[in-house]
Amino acid sequence: MKSWIDELKLLNIGKIEINVSLKKYNTYKIGGKAVCIIYPKNIEKLITLMKFIKQNKLKYKILGNGSNLIFSNELFDGILIKLTEFDNIHIFQNKIKVGAGYSLMKLSRVALKNSLTGLEFAAGIPGTIGGAIFMNAGAYKSDMGYVVQSVKVLTPDFKIVELENKELNFHYRTSFFKTHKDYICLEAIIRLEYGKKEKIEELMKNRLKRRLESQPLNYPSAGSVFRNPKDMFAGELIEKCKLKGKKIGGAMISNKHANFIINYDDASSNDIKDLILYTQKKVKEKYHIDLVIEQEFVNWE
């Protein structure tokens, strides 16, 4: 066991899991092991942890639900941080203050319960608030950029500041946090509008039905692999390349939705990565379009 783990335990930051299989912590169900995963109890403990990481020059990553990650099969030789304890929620009129570790799908149901509209798009997105803000998760022509009023963050120099929507640089599947990975989302204020509960519920049900009908949810995946090019659909381009059903090892391009790669038969991390790069290459050859990968490769360096 690494000596820094013993030191870390003495800091009483929160629950620590040692020598953890990453297959349990991402929706592709792939990857090697992590030296440790830690669950800070609160912001003060998180700051203590980040100071420890900096002092010891350790590798780290904030881990949400792992619903957009592709872990390598190598050991993650550092600390994975899960903000599961950051799950506070407070509703005041048409705004919701919510912790970074709270479930986005659960939040959409809270909004419904309180007759608040604007989060219907999130009813089927299996991420945390922090993860959804990081990648500006969205669906049905809406995303987090439309509903996030502000975010409380921990800066690289351990200050807690509030960033307003206009400072968060929300664009299609990206945000301020993607280019400033040493800033940590702690909490967000979500601003919604009042609506009729029956209409909100109907819209959520319709979108969940569409999701079930069009996406291969019976296999491990991480959602859409590629961003849609302007005025095009990545899935349509992949389908026109006749790649539906294409397999590499245990990874397969879904027959149901061509922009989904599924863990069809105990796929390795390399199977997933190789199939993504193969797909990207084939679309480039046929259409001269560089598909941008929406998912994040972790621990491949």
Report, as residue numbers or ranges, the catalytic residues.
173, 224, 294
Q: How far is CA 110 from CA 101, 102, 107, 123, in A?
A: 15, 11, 5, 11
Q: What is the dihedral of CA 120, 121, 125, 127, to 10 degrees?
A: -80
DSSP lists the bridge partners of residue 37 as 17, 80
DSSP lists the bridge partners of residue 117 as 193
CA distance 133 to 145: 8
The CB-side HSE value for 190 (13 A sphere, CA atoms) comes to 29
Backbone angles phi, psi at 279, to 5 degrees: -60, -45
